[in-house]
Amino acid sequence: MANLIPWEKFEEEYAKSFCENKGAPALPFRVAMSALIIQERLGISDRETVEQIRETPYLQYFIWLTNY
């Protein structure tokens, strides 16, 4: 299913929302979207989402983290 989604096109549009020289760099679109899917499916807060991703290797794999 992941191969059916045009990630590059979404990334281009997503990148337009951020300023390159202000604040921390944005997460890649694929990571941000995957985290949002986790949050919505589990019905949890932003902080709980981060904690769940930190503690669960399956979720880390799902959001395409390279080091976990």
The domain total for the chain is 1
Model pLDDT, residue 18: 85
Per-residue pLDDT at 14 exceeds 80: yes
| Distances 44 to 9, 60, 61 between C-alpha atoms, Å | 28, 16, 19
**Residue range of the domain that includes 46:** 33-68
Q: What is the mean pLDDT of the chain?
A: 89
Domain contains 43: yes
Q: What is the C-alpha separation between 7 and 3, in angstroms, rounded?
A: 9
Mean pLDDT, range 22-37, rounded to an integer:
88
Domain contains 47: yes
Model pLDDT, residue 1: 62
DSSP secondary structure string for all residues of 4-65: GS-HHHHHHHHHTTS-TTSSSPPPPHHHHHHHHHHHHHHT--HHHHHHHHHH-HHHHHHTT-
Model pLDDT, residue 37: 93
Mean pLDDT, range 51-56, rounded to an integer:
96
Mean pLDDT, range 24-45, rounded to an integer:
92
Name the pTM for this structure. Answer: 0.77
Domain contains 10: no
